[in-house]
Each structure stands twice: as C-alpha cells, then as structure tokens.
Amino acid sequence: MQETEQAPEREPADIFLWANNADAYKNELDVEIFLFNKNYTPYSTGFATELNDQIKPLFLYDILGFVQMGAGTGLSVRDFELSDGEENVLLRTDLDKVGRAETLIYVIENQREDIVEFSEEEHEFKRIKGILARFTLKNDRSKTFYVIKSIQQSNVLKGATAWEFKEGKFESFKAEVGLKIPVDNQVLIIGKDIFVFNQSKFEKLFQYEYKKQAIADTRVAEIEKQYKLSFPEGMTLHDLVKDRKKIINKLQKLEVGGVTQEQAIDYADEMQLELMTDDAGAIIIMDGSDLDTFVNLINEDYITSQITGKRYEIKSKKLLDEPEGEPPRGL
C-alpha cells in the first residue's frame, strides 16, 4: 500500500508585509462594491465618481494605518480560535473555517454571471446584512483582497420616511435609500486568511461562534461520560446539539454532574414531563425536543410554584447567597 505524503501546512499571510505593499500601490487599486443579504446572496452595485475620494479612506486607509502603526507598538497576530481576549492582538482565522464567508467570496469570484444588480424594489435594503469592497490591483488578480463591514439598519434612511436639510430648509429625501457607512475596521480577507478587527461584528456578520461551539463540545463530552443516553440509530448527542442555538447557549454555563441520572429521571416524573428510559435505564433522546427537556432537567430549569401549584420552565436564574441568621430575617 502506497503511503501518501501529507500536504505541508499553509503559511498564513504576513499582514504587516501586506500592509506595506498595499500602501505602496493603493492608488492603483480598482474597487467594486457588493451588498449581501442575510442569506449571504451577493448583489452588485455601482457608485458615482464623486465617491472615489471616500471609498478608500472608508474601507482601506484606516486598516493600513492600524496595521502599520501596530507593527511599531508590538501588535501581534493570533489565531481566532486560540485567543483569550488579549490586548494589542489582531485575530486571524482560515477562510475555509468560516463557511458563509468562503461561499460569499467563491460566488463573487467564480459565479459572477449569477450575481444580479441590487434593486430596492426587488431585494429590499432592510434585508441587507453587509457591504463588501473588492480591491484589485490593475492587471494583477493575485493582489485581490476584500474589506467587509456590517450594515446596521439604524444607519439606513428610507426615502419615504426621511427628510434632507438643504439651504436652510427641509426637503423630501430624494433617494430610495440613504446609508451611513460604518467607519470602524471590521473584517479583511486576504487570500485564504480572514483578519478580524472587530470580533463581535465578525461573529454576527458570519454567525461564526467557534468558541461557543468549542465549549459546547466540551460539555457534550462531559454529559456523555456522566449520563447514560439512548439515541435513534445513526444519531449522536453532538449531531443534535450543533443545530440548536438555544442548547449551545445553555451549555456555556452548565455544570455537568450536579444532577445525577436518577435525580434527573425523578425530577422529570415530579414535573410530569415526557422523558422515557429504556430497559437498561438509559434516558431516551429521540429529537431536539427531548434534548431540550433533558438539558433543562440537569440544569434544574423546572419549578413548581408552592403557591399556585403551576409548573414553570425557568428562562433565567441567579443563585442567591446563603441566608444569614435565623428567620424571621431583616428585622
């Protein structure tokens, strides 16, 4: 059997070298502007010549300045997935780890004929999630890179409800839509690398919650070790968890093992919940609804009112300090 050689590990782009080079040829860069919606469908757009003097300062120059200044102040690049909130750090991740970003770039580069021009009448600006500036060095596609910013609907003006102030008086807003471009640096894509200047906006832009998923994966392993669970053939706990944002969020702070297997089953009976066990005593998880119930049980998220006898699911809770003294207290 022939052994296959392992491909060498790819070296990430040198952001500091890139910034110096891009600064040298920035006046020779062509720019295209795309919008993309919440389904990550890109739309082509044009722009008036008077915006030429604004586009590069808004999308590029601050990034170049930040990186070049950072080179002199100890700015370091760290993998997004390994970061822990350090200061003076620029985060980086692989494009192929962020599926929505990878697909967006692929469509722009390889399926241009399928991209239609944005129309407010057909596509509605309220559905737009972000704006992408594609920079290309004239006659050299290898120098292509992308700057992406999120669009907040609070920065969008609709013609039907907006006024403009001109020469001392208000007039009706003549454009279909007005947009205030965010001035902060957010996301830069160079080749196969994504550089993250604003972590929260990047995560929201591409729904990339690697850290949450990593914590959830750890909790899943702990649950599998602590509890006997039974699933339909071909299904695993990990499969069910990865598609349920509510569960992923709950697993972030879950203390596994606080409620035992037997206590969870008794708790379900006490709360009159439909949680079944098999002949071996394993808790049966057939679908996402069963998973929700199970996780709520081991997180103690059900309660019966001592006053009305009504049952409640607890959406949020705060642990109280141990009481001091004997009742009645506070006298």
CA dihedral sign, ordered 107, 111, 116, 117: positive
pLDDT score recorded for residue 53: 85
| Structural contact between residues 17 and 77, judged by C-beta atoms closer than 8 angstroms | no
- Is the Cβ–Cβ distance between 165 and 204 less than 8 Å? no
3-state secondary structure of 23: helix
Which pLDDT score, from 0 to 100, does residue 166 have? 78
Count the Cβ atoms, other than its own, within 10 Å of residue 88: 9
* Residue 216: how many other CB atoms lie within 10 Å: 22
Structural tokens at position 66: 């930040």
Query: Is the separation of the CB atoms in 250 and 295 below 8 Å?
Result: yes
What local confidence, expressed as pLDDT, does residue 33 receive? 96
Q: CA distances (Å), 309 to each of 175, 268, 306, in order?
A: 59, 16, 6
- Cβ-contact 258, 226 below 8 angstroms: no
- Dihedral of CA atoms 278, 280, 281, 287 in degrees, nearest 10, equals -40
pLDDT at position 327 is: 66
In tens digits, the chain (331 residues) has pLDDT values of 344 344 467 789 999 999 999 999 999 999 999 999 999 999 999 988 888 889 999 999 999 999 999 999 999 999 998 887 788 999 999 998 898 999 999 999 999 999 999 988 888 888 999 999 999 998 888 899 999 999 988 887 776 777 777 788 878 777 778 888 888 999 999 999 999 999 999 999 998 888 788 889 899 999 999 999 999 999 999 889 876 888 998 999 899 999 999 999 999 999 999 999 999 999 999 999 999 999 999 999 999 999 999 999 998 887 777 777 676 655 5
CA distances for 19 relative to 79, 213, 256, angstroms: 19, 32, 46
| Residue-level length of the chain | 331
Residue 284's H or E segment, with its range, is strand 283-284
The rounded distance, in Å, linking the Cα atoms of 67 and 90 is: 9
